[in-house]
Amino acid sequence: MTRVLVLGGTGEARKLAERLAERPDLRVTSSLAGRVREPQLPPGEVRVGGFGGVDGLAEWIRREQVDAVVDATHPFAGTITENAVAAAERAGCPILVLRRPAWRPGPGDDWRAAASLAAAAELLPELGERIFLTTGRQGLAHFAALDLRFLVRTVDPPEPPLPPHTTVLLARGPFTVDDEVALLREHRIDVVVTKNSGGSMTSAKLTAARELGLPVVVVQRPPQPAAPSAETVEDAVAWLDSALRQRDHAG
């Protein structure tokens, strides 16, 4: 039976695992980093925790006789993707990077690009006093020195240090545009900060910001290592079938 490792934690990873778990010719293992306390588990086998860097993952791929790897982690999990590509190459295993398309500004959007969280923090004092910060629970230390008022939305409680004037909202998407507009108005938000994660789960805040005429600071994605890539689950399944056919033909 063909063994497939899906590095997951995203909606695309769960959908891919669902598609592959239906096939009797495949044995699918989804790997989760374990950073979310109550993750939404995909079907099939699931392992939680790291592998021990490139060496550990390469050894796991060889020991478990993995035939193909799909890295479907978050677009900002840059280190994990780099390690996965290096480990797969070392183990002689084909790998695909599955990434949802990035968000792109449209008519009426007021977006300010930032190369990093630190760069985003530098932009804020000139943009407004009340900030809706939706960049995740890690990395908030970059904003901790700012004497601004933050509404921080995360799935799990954020890690300190936090800005001195912070309200924490624990919530998991998807969110509606109407709810996002109401939230921004309730907290009198001046500017929205987000990572360019892409997808529909949390994109409503961008539409809400456009409707209210608010600027959005958008942190750009880290560079992706050289490897085959796909933007949809359907394309990932097609790549997998092609990679397995090539393996069988070569064998």
pLDDT at 131: 98
Residues of the chain predicted below pLDDT 70: 34-38, 250-251
* pTM reported for the whole predicted model: 0.87
Span 187-217, pLDDT tens digits: 999 999 999 999 888 899 999 999 999 999 9
Domains 2-101+223-250 and 111-219 share a fold: yes
Domain spanning 2-101+223-250, CATH class: alpha beta
Contact (Cβ atoms closer than 8 angstroms) between residue 4 and residue 240 = yes
Q: What is the pLDDT of residue 36?
A: 62
Q: Which residues of 100-134 are buried (b: 16+ CB within 10 A; e: fewer)?
A: beebeeeeebebbebeebeebbeebeebbebbbbb
Which pLDDT does position 122 carry in this prediction? Answer: 98
Specify the pLDDT at position 247.
76
pLDDT of residue 138: 87
Among the four given CATH numbers 1.10.3470, 3.40.50, 3.90.1720, 3.30.70, the one describing domain 111-219: 3.40.50
Domain ranges of the chain: 2-101+223-250, 111-219
Q: Are 152 and 133 in contact (CB under 8 A)?
A: yes
